[in-house]
Structure formats: structure tokens, C-alpha cells
């Protein structure tokens, strides 16, 4: 992309981690133009071929137990509707949501969110209970390895359910791979363990795939990496790369049956907008034709992952690199032994200066980065070329010299 002075930037942010298919894909642009010529808008209670086809294609690539789609205008609305569905289906009111999570900025979704963006909105909706998910590098459970982290995180969740009364809990919402709050890839067995807890207590499992879905982790939905079936999936962003606003909830057959004989009390004027749904149809077909899913998986395994390991070996400011597909984080520290963050949690002003300098060094060299707290995320479009990945990582290599100056000793 280019700024108004003509300076060129390689987009390593995918804007807001959403332009999975790349900028201005000609087939996707043409599909939107064609859809506008057919039908610009129609109310959500009317049948529409593009909406129906989008739903069919999404269910087709989702886990086997999924049956229907409820369309929204974006990811925050998707999580709002998912918790509403869970509460109506179970007749329960509590929802478990993690620290180090982001689920959107509307009233209910910001309550689910487990980072400082929630604070100005409090007090908010009742019934949300906070838990800690796994994060082996900064373990809240003092775990020695991934297996111990998994076991202790599940024991913690089990204990919280006991104290809250599992019969009161409608749903547990997870980001299968945590997005903005760290690109946290769960240890093997964790998501299966959460699924087992949900099954034991009649609780719904909601997978928030708004950021991690549609190729970002080398799968249609990241939870498929662990072969776990949720009850509800929230999606947006990568479904059509944000070319037209669209989100939704993929609903299991069991949950969908709750609304066979009673109307679901949700939806807005633009839910399932025909232009948005037409763009989703085109996008999913492009994903298949160009094997975007396979490309993302290969980029992570063969290019991004190995190159980031080389960066970590060269730079003492790199505490850890982690990720899947085209969804990676570089965690920056002042001291590898103590794991002191390069900047404090939720840093602002002078305290945030080191990360601001790293971001500025990237931009100066022609790379647009995505940063959050003490992390530099590597999240270019899934369609990026190997050469452009290496060019971008070469710029990051130079920018990390700035971070290295803050390393103790």
C-alpha cells in the first residue's frame, strides 16, 4: 500500500488481521460489482440466493456438527449473538471468558474481552466469569512445560466451574488461537479438555474464530487443527477480507434445533446483506481455487516459522516466537532470563517508547507492522509471496536492533 506522499509499505498487519485474501483481489472486486448490479440490498427476512449460498459454503467447510449460519455485520455482533443463543438454548446465564482475549467492542462483547479495552466500559453485562487460559511462556500456573501447563489450566477451569456452579454456566468462549493478546497457540490436549468439561456439564463451547479463521492458521477454522467440534463458531474478518462488512455465527444442529419452533430474537437491518454475502461466496471459492488454506499452512511451516527462529537466535530482545500458518508473534523482552517485558503491560506515554521506536523503524524501512503491548505480530495476507515474506522479515530483523538496545547488560 502507499501513503499520500507515495511511500510504499509492505502490509504485515493485514490491516486489522483481516485482509487474508490480499488487497483488491480482482475476482472478489468483480463479484461485488456484479452483485451490486443484481441487487444492492434486501431485508434479512426475504430469501436471497447469495445469502443462502454463503451459508451453504460456510457450513461445508466448518466442523461436521455445524448446520446453519446466522449472519451479522461483524465480529463483535457475532459474539453478542453467540452468547444470546447459548443462554436461550441452555436456560443458563453465566458465560466463562478468558483473560488475554478480545471478543469485540459492543456492550456484551467488550464484557467478554479480557484486556484493558474492557475497563472503560465497566460495569457492563452481568454473568461473565473470567478464567486464565494457557500461556506457557508466561504461565499463570507455574508450569514447567506444555503438558503441565495444559493439565493445570484445565484443572483451574474445572475448579472455577465448581465454585460458580456448572449448572449456571451457559457457555465457555475461547479464541482457539488467541489473537491480538499474543498469538497464543494452545498446548496439545487443551481444547479437547475444554470440550470434555463442556460435555460433562451440558455447557456450550463457543469458538471465536473472528481473527484466527478462514486460512489465517492454515485451516478453514483454527479449531480444526485440533479436531475439536465447538457448538457455536463466531466468524468475520477473513470470510471476505473485510471488502464488505460481514460476520456471523455458525450453529450446530443441536443448538439450531432450539429455534425451529420459536423465533430467534436477533438480527439487524443489514444482517446477511446481499453484497456482503456475495463477497463471501466469491472469497470462499477463491480460497478453494487458489488453495489459500494450503498456502497459509506451508508459509508458516516452511518460511515464517523457520525465519523467525533465525531472528530469535540473532536478537537478545526476542524472548519467544510462536504461531501457526500466517499468524505469528515475536515477544520482546529486556531480559531473557527474567522474561521482563520490553514495555510494561498496557504501557502508555514514555513507558511505551521502546515498542513505538520498533514500530517506527519498521515503517521507516517500508513495512507496516502490527504491534500490541510488547509484541510484534507477523500477520501479512495469506496470499503473500515467499519473497515478500522474506523481505518483510529482513526489515523486522533490522528494526529489532532498536529493541536490542534496551536489553539488560
Instruction: Compute CA 230 distance to the chain's CA centroid, rounded to the nearest angstrom.
Output: 15
Q: Where are the domains of the chain?
A: 26-289, 291-404
What is the structure's pLDDT at 408? 86
The sign one gets for the Cα dihedral 230, 302, 331, 156 is: positive
Confidence of residue 382 (pLDDT cuts 50, 70, 90): very high
What is the structure's pLDDT at 110? 98
Rounded average pLDDT over 289-304: 98
Q: From residue 261, give the alpha-carbon distance in Å to each of 93, 170, 258, 287, 333.
A: 22, 21, 7, 36, 55
Rounded average pLDDT over 57-67: 97
C-alpha–C-alpha distance, residues 236 and 210, integer Å = 5
C-alpha–C-alpha distance, residues 382 and 375, integer Å = 20
What is the structure's pLDDT at 245? 98
- Answer yes or no: is pLDDT of 298 > 70: yes
Do 53 and 281 form a contact (C-beta atoms < 8 A)? yes
Percent with pLDDT over 70 in the chain: 100
Express each pLDDT in 390-399 by its tens digit. Answer: 999 999 999 9
91 burial via Cβ count (<10 Å: 0-12, 13-18, 19+): exposed
Rounded average pLDDT over 146-172: 98
C-alpha cell at 41: 440490498
Instruction: Compute CA 9 distance to the chain's CA centroid, rounded to the nearest angstrom.
Output: 24
CA angle 69, 108, 172 (to 5 degrees): 65
C-alpha–C-alpha distance, residues 86 and 32, integer Å = 33
- Answer yes or no: is pLDDT of 104 > 90: yes
Residue recorded with cell 493439565: 151
Express each pLDDT in 168-225 by its tens digit. Answer: 999 999 999 999 999 999 999 999 999 999 999 999 999 999 999 999 999 999 999 9
What is the structure's pLDDT at 409? 64
What is the structure's pLDDT at 273? 97
3.40.640.10, 3.90.79.10, 3.30.70.20, 3.90.1150.10: CATH of 291-404: 3.90.1150.10
- Render the burial of 180-206: b for 16+ CB within 10 Å, e for the rest: bbbbbbbbebbbebbbebbeebebbbb
Helix (H) or strand (E) holding 282: helix 274-289
C-alpha–C-alpha distance, residues 255 and 368, integer Å = 41
Confidence of residue 367 (pLDDT cuts 50, 70, 90): very high
Express each pLDDT in 4-58 by its tens digit. Answer: 999 999 999 999 999 999 999 999 999 999 999 999 999 999 999 999 999 999 9
Percent with pLDDT over 90 in the chain: 100
3.40.50.1370, 3.40.1280.10, 3.40.640.10, 1.10.540.10: CATH of 26-289: 3.40.640.10
Express each pLDDT in 309-327 by its tens digit. Answer: 999 999 999 999 999 999 9
What is the structure's pLDDT at 72? 98
Mean of pLDDT over the chain: 97
Amino acid at each position: 500500500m502507499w501513503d499520500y506522499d507515495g511511500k510504499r509499505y509492505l502490509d504485515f498487519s493485514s490491516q486489522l488481521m483481516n485482509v487474508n485474501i490480499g488487497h483488491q483481489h480482482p475476482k472478489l472486486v468483480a463479484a461485488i460489482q456484479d452483485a451490486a448490479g443484481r441487487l444492492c440490498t434486501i431485508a434479512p427476512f426475504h430469501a436471497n440466493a447469495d445469502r443462502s449460498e454463503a451459508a451453504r459454503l460456510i457450513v461445508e467447510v466448518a466442523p461436521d456438527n455445524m448446520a446453519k449460519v446466522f449472519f451479522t455485520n461483524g465480529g463483535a455482533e457475532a459474539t453478542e449473538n453467540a452468547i444470546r443463543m447459548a443462554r436461550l438454548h441452555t436456560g443458563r446465564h453465566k458465560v466463562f471468558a478468558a483473560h488475554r482475549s478480545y471478543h469485540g467492542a459492543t456492550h456484551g462483547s467488550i464484557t467478554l474481552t479480557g484486556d484493558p479495552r474492557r475497563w472503560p466500559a465497566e460495569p457492563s453485562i452481568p454473568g461473565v466469569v473470567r478464567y486464565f487460559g494457557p500461556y506457557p511462556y508466561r504461565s499463570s500456573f507455574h508450569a514447567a512445560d506444555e503438558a503441565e501447563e495444559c493439565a493445570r489450566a484445565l484443572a483451574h477451569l474445572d475448579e472455577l466451574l465448581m465454585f460458580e456452579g456448572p449448572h449456571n454456566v451457559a457457555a465457555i468462549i475461547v479464541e482457539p488461537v488467541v489473537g491480538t493478546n499474543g498469538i497464543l497457540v494452545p498446548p496439545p490436549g487443551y481444547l479437547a479438555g475444554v470440550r470434555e468439561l463442556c460435555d460433562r456439564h451440558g455447557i456450550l463451547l463457543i469458538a471465536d474464530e473472528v481473527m484466527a479463521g478462514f486460512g489465517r492458521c492454515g485451516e478453514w477454522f483454527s479449531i480444526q487443527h485440533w479436531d475439536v467440534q465447538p457448538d457455536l463458531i463466531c466468524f468475520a474478518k477473513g470470510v471476505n477480507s473485510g471488502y464488505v462488512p460481514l460476520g456471523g455465527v455458525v450453529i450446530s444442529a443441536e443448538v439450531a434445533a432450539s429455534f425451529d419452533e420459536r423465533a430467534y430474537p436477533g438480527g439487524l437491518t443489514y444482517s446477511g446483506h446481499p453484497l456482503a454475502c456475495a463477497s463471501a461466496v466469491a472469497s470462499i471459492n477463491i480460497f478453494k481455487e487458489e488453495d489459500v488454506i494450503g498456502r497459509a499452512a506451508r508459509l508458516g511451516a516452511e518460511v515464517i516459522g523457520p525465519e523467525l527462529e533465525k531472528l530469535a537466535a540473532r536478537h537478545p530482545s526476542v524472548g519467544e516466537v510462536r504461531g501457526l500458518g500466517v499468524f505469528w508473534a515475536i515477544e520482546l523482552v529486556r531480559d531473557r532470563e527474567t522474561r521482563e517485558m520490553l514495555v510494561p503491560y498496557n504501557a502508555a506515554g514514555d513507558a511505551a517508547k521502546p515498542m513505538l521506536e520498533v514500530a517506527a523503524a519498521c515503517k521507516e524501512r517500508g513495512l507496516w507492522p502490527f504491534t500490541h503491548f510488547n509484541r510484534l505480530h507477523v500477520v501479512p495476507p495469506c496470499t503473500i509471496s515467499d519473497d515478500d515474506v522474506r523481505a518483510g522479515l529482513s526489515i523486522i530483523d533490522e528494526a529489532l536492533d532498536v529493541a536490542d538496545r534496551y536489553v539488560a547488560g
